[in-house]
Amino acid sequence: MNVMAEISDHTILSGRYELLGHLGKGGMAYVYRAHDKNLQRNVAIKVLRESLIDDPAFQTRFLYEARAAANLAHPNIVTVYDFGYDDGRYFIVMEYVEGTDLKTLIRRSNRLPVEEAVDLMIQIGAGVGYAHRAGLVHCDLKPQNILVGRDKQVKITDFGIARALATTRPDEHSEIVWGSPTYFAPEQAAGASPSPASDVYALGIILFEMLTGRPPFAATDPVLLAKLHQVAPPPPPRHLNPAIPEKLEIILLKVLSKEPSARYRTADQFSHVLTTFTRQPQLIDQTLHAHSTGSLQNDHPSHSAPSEVTYPSPIDWTAVVLGLLAFMAVGGLIPLWLWVCLLYPTCPLNTW
C-alpha cells in the first residue's frame, strides 16, 4: 500500500495538521508542509514509510528516540513539536525551515567558497556536538538531512529516525538501514555500532563535498563503496580545489581517518578546531596537537563543554618591577645589619 498516494493536499492529521504540499521523500519518510490549525503556524510533517510502520521493534524504539530528539533544544537542530498516529500512519511534526537542504545548495554551486563551507560546518558541528553531549548519535548524517535557511542558519534533522533504525536493525544491510553509504564511517561499514566519532567522519565527508563538489568515494555498488571507506585513502582535497588552505586540508584528512581514535571524538572538538582555524589560524598547529593527544583519550562523549584553546598569558611587568625593588630593598638591609652588629662588643662577628 502506498501511503504517499493516499495523502493529498488539505488532508488533516489528528484533526489538527492540514497538509499543504509535498516537500520531498527519503528512505525513511515522506515530507509535507503543513499548517497547525491549533497554534496557527506552518510546520513540516514526516510520515514514516510503511516498511517501518510494520516493525514493532522500530515503533517502540522510535517513540523512545523521538522523545529524546524532542528534548534537543539547540539553534542548529530542527525542533520536534509533536509525534502522532492517524489512520495507520506514524508521523512527526517539526519546525518548518524556509530554505533548502545542503545537498541542493552544493549542486547549485558545484562547490562552496571555503569561508562559507567552514562557517556552515561550524554550525553543523555545534548542533551535532550538542546532541553528542546529550548522549545521542545521529548515525545518518548527510547533506539531505541538513537544512540551510535563507539567513544561512543550519538546522539538522532526523535524529530520532536514524538512531532508532541503527538500534533496532544494526546488522541489516537493506536500502533503508544503510541510508546513504556515501557518508558512512569505516566502522559502520564493517558492521560496528556507530559512535560520536562515526558522526564526525560523516561531517568530514560532508565538508569534503562542500569544498570540492564531490564526496571522496563513489561507487554504484554499496558493498564496494563500504570497502572504499574501509581501505582507500581519500584523494587530497587540494588536488580537487587548490583554493583550500593547506591547514584546512590537514584538518579534513584527520577527520577522515579510518581509525576512530585518530579523529576528533565529538563534533564539538571538530567545530572548535574549525573556529580556531577561522579566527586564529596561527594557533591551529597548537590546537591540532592538543586534540591529537590529551583530548582524544576518552572514548565516550563528555557531558561537559569541551576545553577551549589555551592562550599564553601576557607578562605582568608591574609585578616583575615590584619584585625586583623588594629584592633590592631586602638585600640592602644586610650590610646595614652587619655594620650595626660590629659596633657592639658582644656581636658574635667580633670573635672572628
Residue 174 has pLDDT above 60, yes or no: no
More confidently predicted of 301 and 349? 349
Q: Is 221 a catalytic residue?
A: no
Alpha helices in 169-316 (DSSP H): 175-178, 186-189, 196-212, 222-231, 237-240, 246-255, 267-279, 284-292
Q: Give the tens place of pLDDT for each residue, 293-308.
A: 444 333 333 333 333 3
The confidence score (pLDDT) of residue 331 equals 61
Angle at 146 between CA 284 and CA 95, to 5 degrees: 125
Grid cell digits, residue 122: 561550524
Looking at the domain that runs over 3-95, which CATH code has it been given? Answer: 3.30.200.20
One fold for 3-95 and 99-296: no
Secondary structure E strands in the chain: 12-13, 17-25, 29-36, 41-48, 80-86, 89-95, 99-101, 146-149, 154-156
Say which range, 158-172, 241-255, 268-282, 325-339, has the weakest mean pLDDT: 158-172
The confidence score (pLDDT) of residue 85 equals 86
One-letter amino acid of 85: Y
CATH architecture under which domain 99-296 falls: Orthogonal Bundle (1.10)
Interatomic CA distance for residues 197 and 300, integer angstroms: 9
Q: Give the tens place of pLDDT for each residue, 194-208.
A: 889 999 999 999 999
What count of other Cβ atoms lies within 10 Å of the Cβ of residue 287? 22
Q: Which of 140, 158, 199, 268 is catalytic?
A: 140
Say which range, 144-148, 153-157, 329-333, has the weakest mean pLDDT: 329-333
Strand partners, 43: 34, 95
CA dihedral 55, 62, 230, 196 (to 10 degrees): -160
Share of the chain above pLDDT 70, in %: 70
Burial of 84 (0-12, 13-18, 19+ CB in 10 A): middle
Q: Is 9 helix (H, G, I), strand (E, B) or coil?
A: coil
Domain ranges of the chain: 3-95, 99-296, 317-347
Residue 1 has pLDDT above 70, yes or no: no
| Beta strand pairing call for 146-149 and 99-101 | antiparallel
